[in-house]
Amino acid sequence: MKSFKKLHQKLTPEFMETLSRQYEPRIYQKILSGFMVDRPVTLRVNRIKTDTRRVMELFRAQNIKHERVTWYEDALIVRNKREKDLENHRLFQEGQIYLQSLSSMIPPLVLDPKPGMKVLDLTAAPGSKSTQLAALMGNEGYILANEINPIRAERLKFNIERQGATIVEVRVGDGKRPEPSWHQYFDAVLLDAPCSGVGLFAVKDPRTYRGWSLKTVNRLAKEQRKLIEVAFEALKPGGALVYSTCTLLREENEANIAWLLEKYGSQASLDKIDLILENGITQPIRFDNQVNSALVIIPTELYEGFFIAKLRKRPSENKANPGGLPSSNSRNL
């Protein structure tokens, strides 16, 4: 109870009211608990340069305690090292491992790119998902990693080069202003959209929640709709778009998906997400009574809060499949 009282003191009444209105009480309490945990270091083995078995053998020899993740063979949880320790490790310096949250690894897995595909990562820095996409594709095909900020783009290039992701090209530019050549060019698009970051809130770190406001959320939602429109226009018919955020608010998540489905009608549909995580981590969202058409990942001791949806561009002659937000004002997850 003391911890929850402290949380209420730190987070604004506007935020607490917004969150409690959008989630039923049991899930609301779970989310608040997730804001107060300390998470272990997690990493992704870079299969372009090595494999999980070799990394685990070295970790065992060096007494680095680790665990595998059931849903992704390249993911490891490290229990007795800090991020700084692993950043100084030879495997990290050589690009054989990459420090990445478990939730961040999920959108590329849901997109499921294949070798030889042309893929757009619309908001790519610092490169965790671009390099993961390259690894999933066996470093065969083409990935355009777009980043608006020139400084962040340099970090993106550095991470791509360190991990040997030679199929990735970096573009410095506004993702809301695409190149004409992008139109219906890509087989798959990943949009991990800039957001209010509610899923990353940590009560011990005021930087994660300082400055939050509904005004900012609404501004970001408008930007997200411009980005998701660009992402969908860049898709070939039959192509897949994964939209993800590290926030938990309807304005930036379900409302944007509903907007896109309504805007494109017969061209847009939702794919079912079949990825199975630990029990109680993912909470399915329904669009048009379609189960698992989007997922909310509740923040826990292992996972940051995330939202993920997978859309498909249909040929124009297909029948309409208009979208809509879940009917209840409170998400009974």
Which of 143, 246, 260, 309 is the catalytic position? 246
Query: What are residue 134's phi and psi, to 5 degrees?
Result: -60, -40
Distances in whole angstroms, Cα of residue 333 to Cα of each of 2, 9, 22, 28, 201: 26, 26, 10, 10, 20
Coil vs helix vs strand at 271: coil
Query: Is 45 in contact with 28 (CB distance < 8 Å)?
Result: no
* Residue 134 CA, distance from chain mean position: 16
Coil vs helix vs strand at 236: strand
Q: Which residues of 204-226 are buried (b: 16+ CB within 10 A; e: fewer)?
A: eeeeebeebeeeebeebbeebbe
Q: Sort 105 into a burial class: Cβ within 10 Å, 0-12 / 13-18 / 19+.
A: buried
CA angle 316, 322, 325 (to 5 degrees): 145
Q: What stretches of 164-292 show up as alpha helix (H) in DSSP? A: 214-234, 254-264
246 is annotated as an active-site residue: yes
Query: Is 293 in contact with 285 (CB distance < 8 Å)?
Result: yes
d(CA 299, CA 301): 7
Sign of the torsion angle spanned by Cα atoms 24, 38, 80, 78: positive
d(CA 24, CA 41): 30
DSSP 8-state code for residue 93? H
Query: Is 125 in contact with 155 (CB distance < 8 Å)?
Result: yes
Q: Looking at the DSSP assignment, which residues form a beta bridge with residue 270? A: 311
Catalytic residues, by residue number, are: 246
